[in-house]
Structure 1
């Protein structure tokens, strides 16, 4: 799939830069040509000689290298590639990208390119969770930059959590997905997935049994058909797919913000099991059992993300697909929900305990559209996802 493709690989300055050496080797094994660019900080972790030897090409390092400018200017270098990959994408590089800075070769190439960009973030967990990084992530996603990772794990600094750069083979899979041609090539699709957690106090929350498996399968299937997928996920048990832009959230209100930040898109697929209510007065300390008796919780409605997006006057996706998890009278409830929310399609399923669907590997769905209800046979969630992805591709192709 990568034979004949050229990857412009920008290596940022982090301990994860050592993985870029293996990434180059893996890409070359698959027939891709790699044009490497090292930031000044990256040279503290890997040497230009080792990168050049593996890539089989000269390493680009300096914005003001006059010899290189005579042979191939930085503008041209940024445009001859089929894909620009930033691995590792440090917090600094992401901030430069999000805010339009161009003060070195790497950031100038990223500003000058009209080629798709894929980033593999890597940084300390506290940097990843910092409000500024969250803003930059949302900006980059809105700008069409896709990402792979980061993964959870131990850090070089001794901390544990999200921030480890994706492994080289994960990045290769994301690159293959980004370069894949298919009926959804050039389409931007939003997928929401997983549950939301609505806190009661620092240790308790309201949630549901959604595993995120169907959402992950949908993200994978849509990406496989060539779509640029923005994947907004709650704290799901199933990890997100590779090769998509992942935005992780906890609460319904955070998911609402992430969805609005991801617009505009060609299609919005709302597979997340979003909590309908939240506790109005979240306790800042653990609620104790005691003489005061059983605590009374007051609730407020969460934003109705599906209905809001369905009724947008400007920026509404061409296709809006909602999901309905029901325990009885599935088709009637799903049909009513479609009308109430204003979406184009509803994918309904029976999640009563006897079916084993909630949290299981299979699904049995009914697709409700303006032409009626179409019940599909029970199949794996991957098979449901691919069938639905192809229907979405057909719908967008005729839109």
Structure 2
């Protein structure tokens, strides 16, 4: 769940705070229960069927549907990975390090860490890195937002404004993402969890959903104070520009360091998650379920896919592409892909779960409209925002 507060979330929330003040905070709060409900379905499917999302799609709808699902997922992963590495390159730029040098170092270190041959060691490393995201909460507190202004803006939701809808779609697309859904289901299988782990897995996911949205709200609040607190505010075109606002709030040394640690923590966790999701997905397409418990020579397809994805995206980031625009475009693309992903997840949960985990009729009647509303608004906001 720490991967959910990644570079894309930071950029979308910072853009939202800079341009619309506190007006997107209600959306961030509403996404907490929805995020939990969606990820909880992956827990049920993983522990109840012993199969990943891709494997269930293949069993239910056949190889063609599986290939289409995997293609859409890999597109989402590619954009997400470029966003994470772009954020880390931006952090390097804050300290005068060239982008290509940052990419070479990061790709080598991440691949070396994954080659340890243990999911648990990778997970522990990722969690330690993700703890630095808490620095965003410190930044929101130190920004000292004005309560009166915050309350006044919470009721001002310009739902007819294309720019507002675009950022709303981006914030949805960086909260509930196709690759986080697939990752959690596959990761539970790689860990070897069983039905005995159901309750702690649910609690872990709930706490993670709350934490990642609170952190995202902290980013938005700090950005609102730093960049103008209102509609028509500043548009941010680069990671150093976003960092500049936090530097103005907290001073040149403290602001830069806190921002660098917080952004790097989320980006590194998300980089690991995205690469693993891509490798697992490609392995499933080849008819092989690979695991981090295997050494590189025992699972060349898995580790080769991981390395190619990481290196290829590092080259893309080094090419000089506008990373903030890429991040927003990726988030909106996720929002546009979300209806198909949520529909597939809900259908599988209704059809594939064994009796102990089967969704009750009442729960289906509540969950279905919630997911439909989320998918519909996500699609509408993404389309209207893009057209505007």
Name the TM-score class by shorter chain.
under 0.3
TM-score normalised by structure 1 residue count: 0.20
Q: Normalized per residue, which structure has more helix? A: 2
Structure with bigger RCO (C-alpha 8 Å, 6+ apart): 2
Structure with bigger gyration radius: 1
TM-score normalised by structure 2 residue count: 0.21
Q: Normalized per residue, which structure has more strand? A: 1
